[in-house]
Amino acid sequence: MTDTPDTAASIPEGEASRSAAAELDAVLRQRLGGFAPSDDRLAALHARFVRSAMDADAVDVAYRTVDSPVGRLLVCTTTVGIVRIAFDVEGLDTVLDRLAAVISPRIIEAPDALDTAAGQLDEYFRGERRSFDLPLDRRLSRGFQRTVLEHLPEIGYGATESYASVARASGSPKAVRAVGTACATNPLPVVVPCHRVVRSDGAPGNYRGGMAAKQTLLALEATS
Amino acid sequence: MLPFARVVEMHGATVWRVCRAVLDEHDTDDAWSETFVAALVAYPSLPETANVEAWLVTIAHRKAIDIARATTRRPQPVEVVPERRPAPPADEALARRDELIRALDRLPPGQRRAVVHHHLVGLSHAEAAELTGITSAAARRASADGIARLRLLLSPPDPRAPSGAS
């Protein structure tokens, strides 16, 4: 039966015809819902968009994720340098939302822009790299925290220093607690080695990625 | 304000549909990419209260129309329409999707836009009308006509119906 909605109701088989038409409409709606690009196509489109966006200098923060022995790391860069490294436990969306608010919402996932950083992190976690050679954007740390964090690379690979000793080196020997806070909120963990600052009694102390992550990093550096 | 990466993730498929309503697959890719680059550039100045999807739909439609105009000025390759359907459907859902896209491509441009905007992008007839610069009534009519035509194109031929001139 061809579809004749205007007259279908007046003929005896109207009921059957109407239900056939309704069935066809349901099929049509279902098919229209499928009118979408495939995931592969969207991924290819996205890669192309990222290239154009980078070429147009329209990206303020590029990010990628890197797998590591301390879980998935989020690595973010501005045009100045690496601005934020975050642990999985911090929540990828939470960290990106915060960057959108304090730096710029022009944030896109652009793995290629972070190839060098990802490569150096891989080498570090394999025990093949002892220091990082990456441009850093330190805009997320200010004042005393910045002073503390800038001192940290002076603590050598595999070595540790106490919070009190870092406080002395930062010119404020009484600011032990503030050193603890500065380290615990380091925006560039791993690369800026706040994990090498431990308590005077030898206990690891607070860490942005959790106590277990800090111990993993210390153990890695002790054996490599 | 959401990181732009989330905006692409949330609205990528909608932007693709809006572009595909006007363009073929290849030009749709260009329009999709251009839409998101233009949106990224302007994103920080978008008011917090703005409807991001509606904003993207407007940009996408404008980009698609620009590309469509440029394309019609280019000499067109002669398209050979295959009589036979492509290989038997390995994936039935995919085959049905391709069938639908072919049917949509056979609609007059106005009907195709109206169907996609209303039924796929989820715009009201008034919103679709505003986007394309026609009246709300015309958008509603074009959508209804398009759906009727799609039904004809997609319904299996009735074996009992007298076959037309073949």
Taking only residues 41 to 100 of chain B, the set having a beta carbon closer than 8 angstroms to any beta carbon of chain A reads: 41, 43-44, 93, 96-97, 99-100
User: What pTM did the predictor assign?
Assistant: 0.78
Worst-scoring range by mean pLDDT, A54-58, A85-89, B68-72? B68-72
Gyration radius (Cα) of chain B, Å: 18
Worst-scoring range by mean pLDDT, A17-21, B26-30, B79-83? B79-83
Does one domain contain both B67 and B96?
A: no
Does one domain contain both B68 and B2?
A: yes
- Chain B: give the shortest CA distance to residue A107, in Å: 5
Is pLDDT larger for residue B68 or for residue A83?
A83
- End-to-end, the C-alpha distance of chain B in Å comes to 59
Does one domain contain both B29 and B62?
A: yes
Q: What is the CATH number of the domain that holds B106?
A: 1.10.10.10
Mutate to test the interface with A, among B15, B22, B37, B113 (most CBs of A within 10 A): B37
Contact A132, A81 (CB under 8 A): no
Query: Is residue B85, in this structure, part of any structural domain at all?
Result: no
Does one domain contain both B15 and B55?
A: yes
DSSP A81: S
Its domain, for residue B145, covers: 91-156
Residue A7 pLDDT more than 60?
Answer: no
Does one domain contain both B12 and B70?
A: yes
Residue A204 pLDDT more than 60?
Answer: yes
pLDDT tens digit string along A144-169? 999 999 999 999 999 999 999 999 99
pLDDT tens digit string along A12-27? 455 665 666 566 666 6
pLDDT of res. A114:
97
Does one domain contain both B67 and B110?
A: no
Worst-scoring range by mean pLDDT, A70-84, A125-139, B106-120? B106-120
Interface touch B120/A1, C-beta < 8 Å: no
Query: Is residue B35, in this structure, part of any structural domain at all?
Result: yes
When pLDDT is cut at 50, 70 and 90, the band that residue A197 belongs to is very high
pLDDT tens digit string along B42-61? 999 999 899 999 999 999 99
Task: Look at chain B and report how many structural domains it folds into.
Answer: 2
ipTM: 0.82
pLDDT of res. B102:
81
Worst-scoring range by mean pLDDT, A14-23, A177-186, A204-213? A14-23
> Percentage of residues in chain A with pLDDT exceeding 70?
84
Place of tokens 């409409």: A25
- Structural domains in chain A plus CATH codes: 39-125 (3.30.160), 143-223 (1.10.10.10)
pLDDT tens digit string along A116-138? 999 999 999 999 999 999 999 99
- Compute φ and ψ for A36, nearest 5 degrees: -150, 155
Report the chain A residue with the minimal C-alpha distance to residue B158: A1
Neighbours of A168 (CB within 10 A): 16
Chain B residues in contact with A109 (beta carbon < 8 A)? 5
Per-residue 3-state assignment (H helix, E strand, C coil) for A143-196: HHHHHHHHHHHHCCCCCCEEHHHHHHHCCCCCCHHHHHHHHHCCCCCCCCCHHH
